[in-house]
Amino acid sequence: MTSKEKKQTEPPAKTKRKTRRRRRSSRSFSSEEKARAVLAAWTEKLNQSEICRQMQINYVTFQNWQKRAMEGMLQALEDHARLSDGAALSPRLRKLMEKQSSNSGPKLEERLRQIQDGQSPSS
């Protein structure tokens, strides 16, 4: 058998197919579970890598939990005077509320004036 005949009788070489990596199904944790994990690290009951291994989470995810826990704790301990100034709102939410109030200001004022004057709303 010649080499030409061999090539014709051999099955075609398999082409490599792109295989997708299976994404690990993400588990959502309750706020209580996250708090327990963060407190375990803060009280040094477990080190951070052990917590990540047990919960099967990325180290960056755990760092984010700790950051959010610290921000929440600091926010909860703020003086009430500062909270009344809107310190409890995130900058994003504060910006959105300011935008909303500036957009609906004239319409709202007109509607309130109509209500005070006892007029029906004009559509």
What phi-psi label fits residue 86: left (phi over 0), alpha (psi between -120 and 50 degrees) or beta? Answer: left
Q: What is the mean pLDDT of residues 19-46?
A: 83
* In contact, 48 and 62? CB cutoff 8 Å: yes
For residue 11, the one-letter residue type is: P
Of residues 68 and 111, the one with the higher pLDDT is: 68
d(CA 55, CA 96): 35
The single-letter DSSP state of residue 56 is T
What's the confidence (pLDDT) of residue 41? 92
pTM score over 0.85: no
pLDDT beyond 60 at 61: yes
The confidence band for 53, taking pLDDT boundaries of 50, 70 and 90, is very high
pLDDT beyond 60 at 35: yes
pLDDT beyond 60 at 18: yes
The confidence band for 8, taking pLDDT boundaries of 50, 70 and 90, is low
Beta-carbon count within 10 A of 37 CB: 22
And the tokens for 23? 């994404």
pLDDT beyond 70 at 57: yes
